[in-house]
Structure 1
Amino acid sequence: MELDVHHLRLVRAIGETGSLSEAAVRLGISQPAVSGSLKRLENALGQRLFERGSSGTSVVPTPTAELLLDRISAVLPMMEGLVRDIEVRTSPSELVRVGGVCSPFLCHLPAIVDGHRPSGPAPLLFDSECRDLVVEMVAQRRLEVGVVKDYPGFEAVVPASVDCAVVAHDRTLVLLREDHPLARHKVIGLEQLQDEDWVLPPPDSSRFHEYFHRSCGSKGFTPRVRYLAESFGMTVAAVRNGAVALSQAACEGHLQVAARLLADNALSRRFLLVWHKESDFAAVAPDVLADVALAYRLECEASPVYSRYLA
């Protein structure tokens, strides 16, 4: 039996949530699909991985699953990073690569960079939530320009060969069900959310989880994080099931989900543009930076939620 990335993600989601239904929310698939995948994996391994609880959806890991879970936390990030690296390295060498972390202007980046090049194929967009990976790829000149984000007290550190500039200081919105009592407020204080169940992205090199817990601690409470969602779709699904989450300022509306601004500039971030100092891009970096900042501003103004705060 050969374990692949999908198997490891399945076992991790079930093990961390202790529930087939909550694992389904995190993975963005149905509960029957989770149950079927787990059964096929157990049959292939010839061993039970999780013992079912009385409710039918709660589970307890077996010793074999405990072994897998212990190794997955170290192995899975490396496997996922390897897959991304191979995808980038096997692209045609003449392509210009740009990319970075999720941001309102990331999808504008290829066209903006292309507009400041004399000729050649359109740039290839690389998407990664790992800030350190993006910076490393820029330093190795595997990315022409990258987008990263950082947080107050947890600023990004770049090598001497890499230059960077701030694109924007971004506010944070809290996402909650439309029928949540706090949804009637236009602005919500972080301290008002102390009794909520939170859904957050998985921990990464940006150290957001440390920033988040420090910010909540400064308001006098320890947050109860119940979900770790790898995609925004999974985040929205968890919010619809009663959790609260966070979003960048320029966000679109979602059915049954309300987005409200956090008070006191809580949990804000910076978006940064990074590039190699000796690359051809360095000569046009100021112009690209201006265009990217404009793209961010236009996205904010076009956002059905955030635009009213700007107004």
Structure 2
Amino acid sequence: MNIHALRLFYYVAETGSVTKAAARLRISQPAVTSQIKRLEKDLGLPLCSPSGRGISLTPFGTELAKQAGNLFPYEERIEEFVEDYRQGRKGKLRIAATYLPANFLVPGWAARFKAGQPEMEIEITTTNSTHAFEQLQRHEADVAFYGGGAKEKPEDVDWLELFEDELWFVVAPSHPFANGTVSLPEMMQEPFVMREEGSSTRERLVSLCTTYGLKPPRVTLQFSGLGEVIRSVMAGYGANFISSLAVRDYVEWKQLCRVQVEGIQLSNHIAVCTRKNETLSAGLQRFIDICRE
């Protein structure tokens, strides 16, 4: 059966007029008439006959139009569904993010995105940099957000740096170093409260000590969560080396104080990563545009 001809017949039956069906489908009236006659010939049964200015369906034509009515409205819904995905109005956006952007950046970006695309789903996975890139490479994530040193940049991803985030030494306001300036060896004499081994900031601090020929910091309190680390330092114990994004508000509220360390200025690279040479979906491009703003 010629599905195109059946579609034309369905719209003729629905509108009751060849003229109206042709206008709706944006094709010529003779083309519609020709296709319907061809369909009648293929089927070996009459479908309609002239009736005044319109048409009259045969009993078979009436039943066939009902059957077609189950097909073509559903086809229209599928086309709308596809177009919604194409335009980024519907679908699912899978985000893999390292700890820093996942906790301090992505939630705000996601809220702004959802305000404009309420029917889009967003799934955010917080993980380490290795797993974030692996998820991206295995197509388990559509985009990866990274916060850390640029040395971990894989070759098979497109890397768009959004900004750099400073790394700060912080202590409680009651600490002797609060708002002061010290040397790196002096700073390394302090006990540190840090996240577990393998966390990117802790590795950066150890690497810094190695560069300057110093012993690694004495980590005398260790937590798996950053919130616990911050609260311990706020309570008056030890020092921390941490992203400014995580503690900027606490410093402004004078619950923590920075310590300037002579000659030391380090930062994290905050980047959005996508698969190289891959066209971005409309939804993902819109999300990235929000991040860049």
CA contact (8 A) 1:100 1:147 kept: yes
Q: 2:206 aligns with which of 204, 213, 228?
A: 213
Aligned length: 195
Where does residue 109 of structure 1 map in the other structure?
A: 109
State the secondary structure of the residue aligned to 1:110.
helix
TM-score between both structures, scaled by the size of structure 1: 0.53
Q: Does 1:246 align with 2:247?
A: no
Q: Which entry has the higher C-alpha Rg, 1 or 2?
A: 2
Where does residue 30 of structure 2 map in the other structure?
A: none
Name the amino acid aligned to 2:152: A
Q: Which has the higher strand share?
A: 2
RMSD: 3.3
Name the amino acid aligned to 1:156: E
Q: 2:225 aligns with which of 226, 231, 235?
A: 231
Percent identity between the aligned chains? 14
How far off is 1:177 after superposition?
1.5
Where does residue 157 of structure 1 map in the other structure?
A: 153
Structure-2 change in CA distance of 1:265 and 1:278 (3 Å): same
**1:1-311 alignment, distance < 5 Å:** 95-101=92-98, 102-103=100-101, 104-111=104-111, 114=114, 120-128=119-127, 130-151=128-149, 155-158=151-154, 160=156, 162-185=157-180, 189-204=183-198, 206=200, 208-222=201-215, 223-239=217-233, 240-250=235-245, 251-253=248-250, 256-260=255-259, 262-277=261-276, 281=280, 288-289=287-288, 291-294=290-293
CA contact (8 A) 1:110 1:122 kept: no
How far off is 1:244 after superposition?
0.6
How far off is 1:290 after superposition?
5.2
1:95-125, Cα deviation, whole Å (9 max, x unpaired): 32224122332212324555786x7324122
Give the ranges of 4+ consecutive aligned residues of structure 1 lying more than 4 Å apart after TM superposition: 112-117, 260-263, 282-290
CA contact (8 A) 2:143 2:274 kept: yes
State the secondary structure of the residue aligned to 1:178.
coil
CA contact (8 A) 2:174 2:236 kept: no
Structure-2 change in CA distance of 1:125 and 1:262 (3 Å): farther
1:146-169, Cα deviation, whole Å (9 max, x unpaired): 1112326xx113252x32211112
State the secondary structure of the residue aligned to 1:179.
coil
Name the amino acid aligned to 2:109: L
Unaligned runs of 5+ in 2: 1-90
Structure-2 change in CA distance of 1:272 and 1:192 (3 Å): same
How far off is 1:182 after superposition?
0.9
> Which whole-Å CA distance do the structure 1 matches of 2:278 and 2:119 have between them?
16
> Which whole-Å CA distance do the structure 2 matches of 1:235 and 1:168 have between them?
25
Unaligned runs of 5+ in 1: 1-93, 295-311
> Which whole-Å CA distance do the structure 2 matches of 1:242 and 1:209 have between them?
17
